[in-house]
C-alpha cells in the first residue's frame, strides 16, 4: 500500500506544534509495519537538512495562478520518502503568514502533478488540516481515495469567495453551500471534510465534541452528518517514545524510575532559583485555547503552594502578563520555544498544568506522564482520553477557580508521598506508542480502498 501524507509541517524539517510531531512519527511507524510511505510538505526556506532536488519545472495545474519554476526535493529517512515542494510563495523565513490561504492553495495545486513527475502513485492520500484540504478535493477529481485528519478545527483556511475560488482550480459547482462555500468564503477545512472518503480527528473525545455547537466552529452540522454516515472517527495520537524517553534523554540527567527524578528536580530548582515548594510546569503555546489566561488568573493562589515554571510564546498579552509575574520568587517565565528547556521542565517538574479550553489531542500531557510528572488537566478532548483519574487531576470548568481547586487537590496528594509515588509510577508505565494508532490508520485505509467512492449529495460532476 502506497500512502501519501500531505501536511504543512513535519518534524524534524519544519515544526510549530503537534501537527509536525505527528507527521514525524506516524509515517515512520507505518513504514515499519510494511507500508510504502511518502510525506509531502512545502520546501520552506528554513529547512536546514540537505534536500536533493529531483525535479524542476512548470506544472500544468488548474487555477488562475500559474505554477512556474516549481522545485521538488527528496530526502529518505527512517524508511520514509520525504518530498518537498518548492514554490516562490514559500521562499521566506518562517512557516505561517497572513497570506497563507493563497500560499497553501498554490501548494495544494502543485502536490498531485509533482507526485506524477517523480513517479509516485498513491493508493491512499492522507491529508492533514486545512492547509491540505484542497489536495483532498483535487485528488477526488483525479479518482483518488483520501483520508482527511482534523488536528484543530478552529483554523479553517477561509478567504473571500471572489478571490479564493479562482485560486483553487476547482469547478464552479464545488462552491455551493454543500461544497466549499462557508458564509460567503472559501473554506479549505471544509474541502477536506466534504471530499474525503473518511475523516478522522486526533482523539475519540474530540471527534464527539466537534459535533456540538460549543466545539464545532460552525461546521457541527456537517460533522453530525459525517458521523451518521459513518465517515467521522477519532484515532488517538501516539507519542514518539524514542524521542521522549527519560532513560536516554540527553537534555536531562537520565532516570528510569520515580526516585531518579530527584536530580532533575534539583537541577530545575537551581536553574530558576526556586525554593523547596513543589514545581508546577507548563510548556505551551500561549493562547486562550490553551487556557493560559486561566493560569495567569490562578497564579495568586497557585504560588501559595507551588513554584510555577512556564515556557512558551504566542499571544503578546499573555506574554506580557507572565513577564509581570516573572519577578515573583515562585514564578519563572521563559519566553519562546526551547526544546532542551522543555525536556528539563518535563523531567524536573512534579506536576504539569494543561487548563485547555479545548484540546484535540495534546502531546504535552503524555510527555509529562512519561517523565513521571503528574498532569492537572481540564476534561476536554484528548486530555480525557489520555489522563486516567488514578494518575492525574482533572477538572471541568474553564475558570481560574476550577484550575486552582484541582491544583490544591494535587498539592494535598503530593504530601502523601506513597500515593504520589504510586501515581507517578503508573504514569511512567502507560503505553502511548504509535503502534496501536498506526494499525488503526492502516485498517482505515484498507476499508477506504475496499469500497467504491461515495457520491457526494448536492454536488454535480462526481
For each of the domains in the chain, give its residue range(s) and CATH number, in order of start.
Answer: 2-238+435-450 (3.40.50.2000), 258-431 (3.40.50.2000)
pLDDT one-digit tens code per residue, 341-377: 999 999 999 999 999 999 999 999 999 999 999 999 9
- The band of 303, judged by pLDDT with boundaries at 50, 70 and 90, is very high
Share of the chain above pLDDT 90, in %: 90
Compute CA distances 104 → 100, 122, 178, 200, whole Å.
6, 20, 22, 21
E-assigned strand segments in 96-247: 124-128, 145-150, 158-160, 181-182, 185-187, 198-201, 232-234
Q: Give CA–CA dist 25/434, Å, rounded.
A: 7
Average pLDDT of the residues in 398-416: 97
pLDDT one-digit tens code per residue, 229-275: 999 999 999 998 888 999 999 999 999 999 999 999 999 999 999 99
Low-confidence winner among 17-21, 75-79, 210-214 (lowest mean pLDDT): 17-21
Q: What is the pTM of this model?
A: 0.92
Indicate whether 457 pLDDT > 70.
Answer: no
The residues facing 159 across adjacent strands are: 186
**Peptide bond just before 6 cis, omega within 30 deg:** no
- The band of 65, judged by pLDDT with boundaries at 50, 70 and 90, is confident
Distance of CA 281 to the CA centre of its chain: 20
Q: Give CA–CA dist 391/382, Å, rounded.
A: 15
- Tell me the pairing of strands 67-77 and 2-6: unpaired
Say if CB 89 and CB 96 are below 8 A apart: no
pLDDT one-digit tens code per residue, 92-117: 999 999 999 999 999 999 999 999 99
CA distance from start to end of the chain: 25
Q: Is 405 annotated as a binding residue?
A: no
The number of helices, as runs of H, and strands, as runs of E, in the chain is 16, 18
Q: What is the predicted pLDDT for the residue at 453?
A: 74
Average pLDDT of the residues in 119-147: 96
Distance of CA 121 to the CA centre of its chain: 27
The residues facing 394 across adjacent strands are: 377
Q: What is the predicted pLDDT for the residue at 61?
A: 78
Compute CA distances 430 → 71, 222, 281, 367, 369, whole Å.
43, 35, 20, 11, 8
The rounded mean pLDDT for the chain is: 94
- The band of 461, judged by pLDDT with boundaries at 50, 70 and 90, is very low
Distance of CA 393 to the CA centre of its chain: 23
pLDDT one-digit tens code per residue, 155-181: 999 999 999 998 998 998 899 878 899
pLDDT one-digit tens code per residue, 337-350: 899 999 999 999 99
E-assigned strand segments in 194-328: 198-201, 232-234, 279-283, 307-312
Q: Give CA–CA dist 391/379, Å, rounded.
A: 14
Indicate whether 130 pLDDT > 90.
Answer: yes
Q: What is the predicted pLDDT for the residue at 462?
A: 41
Q: What is the predicted pLDDT for the residue at 385?
A: 97
C-alpha cell at 458: 448536492
Average pLDDT of the residues in 372-392: 97
Q: What is the predicted pLDDT for the residue at 183?
A: 93
DSSP category for residue 314: B
Q: Give CA–CA dist 455/202, Å, rounded.
A: 26
pLDDT one-digit tens code per residue, 201-210: 999 999 999 9
Q: How many Cα atoms within 13 Å fall on the side-chain side of residue 78?
A: 17
Amino acid at each position: 500500500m502506497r500512502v501519501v501524507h500531505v501536511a504543512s509541517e513535519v518534524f524534524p524539517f519544519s515544526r510549530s506544534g503537534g501537527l509536525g510531531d505527528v507527521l514525524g512519527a506516524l509515517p515512520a511507524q507505518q513504514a515499519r509495519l510494511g507500508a510504502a510511505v511518502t510525506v509531502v510538505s512545502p520546501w520552506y526556506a528554513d529547512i536546514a537538512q540537505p534536500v536533493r532536488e529531483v525535479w524542476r519545472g512548470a506544472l500544468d495545474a488548474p487555477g488562475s495562478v500559474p505554477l512556474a519554476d516549481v522545485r521538488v526535493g527528496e530526502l529518505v529517512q527512517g524508511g520514509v520518502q520525504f518530498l518537498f515542494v518548492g514554490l516562490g510563495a514559500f521562499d521566506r523565513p518562517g512557516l505561517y503568514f497572513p497570506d497563507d490561504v493563497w500560499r497553501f492553495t498554490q501548494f495544494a495545486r502543485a502536490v498531485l502533478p509533482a507526485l506524477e513527475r517523480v513517479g509516485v502513485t498513491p493508493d491512499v492520500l492522507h491529508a492533514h488540516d486545512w492547509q491540505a484540504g484542497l489536495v483532498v478535493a483535487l485528488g477526488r477529481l483525479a479518482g483518488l481515495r483520501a483520508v482527511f485528519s482534523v488536528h484543530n478545527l478552529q483554523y479553517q483556511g477561509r478567504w473571500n469567495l471572489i478571490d479564493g475560488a479562482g485560486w483553487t482550480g476547482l469547478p464552479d459547482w464545488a462552491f455551493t453551500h454543500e461544497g466549499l462555500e462557508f458564509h460567503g468564503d472559501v473554506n479549505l477545512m471544509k474541502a477536506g471534510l466534504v471530499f474525503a472518503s473518511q475523516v478522522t480527528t486526533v482523539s475519540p473525545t474530540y471527534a464527539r465534541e466537534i459535533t456540538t455547537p460549543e466545539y464545532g466552529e460552525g461546521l457541527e452540522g456537517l460533522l453530525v452528518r459525517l458521523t451518521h454516515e459513518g465517515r467521522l472517527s477519532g484515532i488517538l495520537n501516539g507519542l514518539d517514545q524514542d524521542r521522549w524517553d527519560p532513560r536516554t534523554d540527553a537534555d536531562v540527567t537520565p532516570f528510569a524510575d520515580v526516585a531518579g527524578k530527584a536530580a532533575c528536580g534539583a537541577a530545575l530548582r537551581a536553574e530558576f532559583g526556586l525554593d523547596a515548594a513543589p514545581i508546577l510546569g507548563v510548556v505551551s503555546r500561549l493562547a486562550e485555547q490553551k487556557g493560559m489566561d486561566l493560569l495567569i488568573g490562578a497564579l495568586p493562589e497557585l504560588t501559595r503552594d507551588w513554584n510555577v515554571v512556564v515556557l512558551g510564546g504566542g499571544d503578546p498579552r499573555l506574554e506580557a502578563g507572565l513577564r509581570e509575574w516573572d519577578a515573583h520568587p515562585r514564578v519563572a517565565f521563559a519566553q519562546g520555544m526551547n526544546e532542551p528547556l522543555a525536556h528539563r521542565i518535563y523531567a524536573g517538574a512534579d506536576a504539569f498544568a494543561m487548563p485547555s479550553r479545548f484540546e484535540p489531542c495534546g502531546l504535552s500531557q503524555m510527555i509529562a506522564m512519561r517523565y513521571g510528572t503528574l498532569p492537572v488537566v481540564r476534561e476536554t478532548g484528548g486530555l480525557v482520553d489520555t489522563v486516567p483519574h488514578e494518575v492525574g487531576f482533572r477538572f471541568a470548568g474553564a475558570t481560574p477557580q476550577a484550575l486552582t481547586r484541582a491544583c490544591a487537590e494535587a498539592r494535598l496528594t503530593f504530601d502523601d508521598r506513597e500515593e504520589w509515588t504510586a501515581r507517578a509510577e503508573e504514569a511512567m508505565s502507560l503505553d502511548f506508542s504509535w503502534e496501536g494508532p498506526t494499525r488503526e490508520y492502516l485498517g482505515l485505509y484498507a476499508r477506504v480502498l475496499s469500497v467504491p467512492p461515495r457520491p457526494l449529495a448536492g454536488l454535480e460532476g462526481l
